Structure 1
């Protein structure tokens, strides 16, 4: 992936990993568009940064995604990089019948959102020079956190979808997966100060170094996430599930 001179659309750019990635790519000389539900947060993230733009988007609304994609292509015809980062994480209890609103919202936001937005923009990206799609999954795509089963499942599904997308778009659009470990952000309450989680700045430092490699790896994996990503291939999947969930309990 080219590191400068791009026009990058990044969802979920108003906080956490999305905001940090947006700032780092902007610092390298890219035009960056950040999108999300909370316009004020997006505007704060853009403050004082020329060529960084805030555009509202409800990633859970299929109609809004379609209208948004048309507007973005019209307003930013040089768009050549899409980063699907927006996501939510909800705790769920599986041992009783429950309201499935959290599970449904997680599927719509974390899985259908990236699929719909990619579908809306793939024709444009296929015609753009140096085009790339970056899908942000999670280490939990490979070893699930039992307390957040639908989140883990959507990230596993997005990993699989990314593998297929990469094969189909080979030679036209570079497809990259970024799979974070547990990082200190506000994805869940109190997570930004939780002991044992990777500090956000340290995570982004390592991520940007990996993005800068030539060729760019198809999977951007910081060292900390290897415990999860490689568990099955190394024959320790069951032990990793137990270790992860004992630590989280």
Structure 2
């Protein structure tokens, strides 16, 4: 992927990893469009980087994703890079009865359905522009963490989906990249201790590793601890699964009485 002169759409770009990537791509002389669920977060992102073009969209709502794709294709037909970054993580104890079935599956709706629908609706445009699709999975796509069972399963889905997508599109001139971050210092990981098992990267460190991976043409970018999880999942799966379960035990909600 070339790093300059693109028009890039980043879902979930109003905070965290998405916003950090957005600001870096602007710095590298790209036009960047971001989505976010709330106007307040989009306005805050805009105040940090005025060059960003903002679109309010809930990544779990098929109608909103459809309307977003129609708007982008009409207003920005030269958009050639899609970064599927929107995602949520919820710590869960599966022994507890969910408060609502809708809430219980929101990680599936955003992380899985949102990525699949967004990719499908923008695929013809990306193919026409011989562009790039970057799907953000996680180091937890390779090793499940006990305290986030649904999140980890959704990220394993994204890993598999991205691999299949890459092979389907390799003859169409579309590059497909997977970015699998480790724990990154954002609101999503606020409860993780920095002196524990988790080696937490800053967003700046993650962005630096991502740009380096894209520059070198990597199809799977696994910065920091994510590369270790990926390797150990193949060499010592039982060991690393138990190690991660022990490290995350304190973050799982207690069983309701």
* TM-score normalised by length of structure 1: 0.92
Instruction: Please list every run of at least 4 consecutive aligned residues from structure 1 whose deviation after the TM superposition is greater than 6 angstroms.
Output: none
| Residue 91 of structure 1 pairs with residue 84 of structure 2 | no
> Following the alignment from structure 2 to structure 1, what is the Cα–Cα distance between the partners of residues 239 and 116?
32
Q: Deviations for 1:185-213, whole angstroms, at most 9, x for unmatched residues?
A: 1114445x744422222222222211221
| Residue 207 of structure 1 pairs with residue 210 of structure 2 | yes
> Following the alignment from structure 2 to structure 1, what is the Cα–Cα distance between the partners of residues 158 and 49?
31
Residue 48 of structure 1: how far off its partner (Å) = 6.3
Partner SS, residue 232 of structure 1: helix
Gaps in structure 1 of 5+ consecutive residues: none
Q: Relative to structure 1, is the Cα distance of residues 48 and 94 closer, same or farther in structure 2, using a 3 angstrom cutoff? A: closer
Q: Do the aligned partners of 1:227 and 1:240 also contact (CA within 8 Å) in 2?
A: no
- Note the 1:128-167 alignment, pairs <5 A: 128-129=129-130, 131-167=131-167
Residue 96 of structure 1: how far off its partner (Å) = 4.2
- Aligned-residue CA RMSD in angstroms? 1.7
1:77 paired residue number: 77
Q: Deviations for 1:129-185, whole angstroms, at most 9, x for unmatched residues?
A: 3x0000000011110111110000000011111111101111321000000011111
* TM-score normalised by length of structure 2: 0.90
> Following the alignment from structure 2 to structure 1, what is the Cα–Cα distance between the partners of residues 51 and 16?
20
Partner SS, residue 176 of structure 1: strand
Q: Deviations for 1:85-135, whole angstroms, at most 9, x for unmatched residues?
A: 000001111234434433311100000001001111101111013x00000
2:62 paired residue number: 62
Partner SS, residue 60 of structure 2: coil
Gaps in structure 2 of 5+ consecutive residues: 250-257
1:175 paired residue number: 176
| Residue 197 of structure 1 pairs with residue 231 of structure 2 | no
1:226 paired residue number: 227
Aligned positions, number: 244
> Following the alignment from structure 1 to structure 2, what is the Cα–Cα distance between the partners of residues 244 and 145?
6
| Residue 39 of structure 1 pairs with residue 49 of structure 2 | no
